[in-house]
Amino acid sequence: MSIPTTRFGRTGLVVSRLALGTMTFGLQTDEAVAQRILDKAVDAGINLIDTADVYPLGGDLSTTGRTEEILGRWLKGRRSQVVLATKAVGKVGPHSWNQGASRKHLVEAVEASLSRLGTDHIDLYQLHSDDANTPLDETLAALDDLVQSGKVRYIGVSNFLAYRLARALGKQEANRLARFVSVQPRYSLLFREIERELLPLAQEEGLAVIPYNPLAGGLLTGKHALGAPTEGTRFTLGKAAERYQDRYWHEREFATVAALKAAADEAGVSLTTAALAWVLANPVITAPLLGASSPEQLDATLAAAEFKLDPALKARFDEITADYRRGDATR
């Protein structure tokens, strides 16, 4: 298998067209399995690995940082092989300042992540979400300082509305600060709202786009049935279960998945591979984030890197999911 590479936005960095997400490591996936997933992904050609200081997703403050610790132990002797991305802003401690995008928190969060990851620099440091309670000027100046210090190579955002990202980019340009080079939004056949504003902004500004949930938390594998969610999946584990059920566990989504699966079956391809290939077919997308709770789950997603999505099947997928371009933005 050969995973193609691409430029990371308008930077000089070159990354694989598939990236590995790690939010299941340490809760849904134990360390031994996580290491096997990492080995398989890197052996297949993936060189961009994404994590966050609040992972594993679905845990609580007692598990905060566990995923970075697992990744840090795996990175020993391998640091030069990967582009390492992590995120901050989520709550990681008991105090009011242990979250958000204030200068105090970001400086402390970077140091904590560096320690857990066992490295002296983070290749891509991202704001996990927008913090409306902290002035953008404070956040952007703090991030610029982190870049200038060498502890962070590039900066990006996740879960930002287009207008807030545009405003931040304008401030960075006007004040000659380190510029955001990437955005990490939710994007899949079941969540296409970002096609209206965020993706056009990313294309115009030359931002890399590394979407998460390209398989809608696993719903687009077609393995789930409406009713009680399967134990041990993102729909049942920890605090994140309610969020995932609210996003995807509805009759409308299951009916859509059934229609997509029928179209994929007719074309002779697995829905998992075709759904991820659909994301990759969007020229604005840089590298979707793959999630896995076992190494075997990577087989169908890694196959998407070499799968050529038939234009007729893409058009059918577009038609089936057209309403998801105008979905409920609160999900």
Q: What is the 3-state secondary structure (H, E, C) of 240-294?
A: HHHHHHHHHCCHHHHHHHHHHHHHHHHHCCCHHHHHHHHHHCCCCCCCCEECCCC
237 pLDDT band (50/70/90 cuts)?
low
**What pLDDT was estimated at residue 243?**
74
Inform me whether the pLDDT recorded for 197 exceeds 80.
Answer: yes
235 pLDDT band (50/70/90 cuts)?
confident
Percent of the residues in the chain that have a pLDDT greater than 90, as a whole number = 85
Question: Which distant-in-sequence residues (6+ apart) come within 8 Å of 72 by Cβ?
Answer: 116, 117, 118, 119
CA distance 109 to 208: 23
Phi-psi domain of 232 (left: phi exceeds 0; alpha: psi -120 through 50; beta: other): left
CA distance 208 to 183: 6
**What pLDDT was estimated at residue 125?**
99
User: pTM (2 decimals)?
Assistant: 0.94
Count Cβ atoms below 10 Å from residue 264 Cβ, excluding itself. 23
**What pLDDT was estimated at residue 228?**
66
> Which pLDDT tens digit goes with each residue over 163-196?
999 999 999 999 999 999 999 999 999 999 999 9
Percent of the residues in the chain that have a pLDDT greater than 70, as a whole number = 95
CA distance 52 to 39: 19
Inform me whether the pLDDT recorded for 268 exceeds 60.
Answer: yes
**What pLDDT was estimated at residue 247?**
79
CA distance 296 to 299: 6
18 pLDDT band (50/70/90 cuts)?
very high
Inform me whether the pLDDT recorded for 135 exceeds 50.
Answer: yes
Phi, psi of 229 (to 5 degrees): -60, 150
**What pLDDT was estimated at residue 330?**
34
Hey, which CATH number is domain 5-326, 1.20.1270.10, 3.20.20.100, 3.30.465.10, 1.10.340.30? 3.20.20.100
* Average pLDDT over all residues of the chain: 93
**What pLDDT was estimated at residue 2?**
79
Inform me whether the pLDDT recorded for 329 exceeds 60.
Answer: no
Kindly state the average pLDDT of the residues 285-290. 98
Decide if 278 contacts 228 (C-beta within 8 A). no
**What pLDDT was estimated at residue 331?**
36
Inform me whether the pLDDT recorded for 55 exceeds 70.
Answer: yes
**What pLDDT was estimated at residue 232?**
65
Burial of 328 (C-beta count, 10 Å sphere; 0-12/13-18/19+):
exposed
**What pLDDT was estimated at residue 241?**
73
Cis peptide before 211 (omega within 30 of 0): no
Active-site residue set: 55
284 pLDDT band (50/70/90 cuts)?
very high
Inform me whether the pLDDT recorded for 244 exceeds 90.
Answer: no
Kindly state the average pLDDT of the residues 215-239. 77
231 pLDDT band (50/70/90 cuts)?
low
Domain boundaries, the chain: 5-326
Residue 156, SS3?
Answer: strand
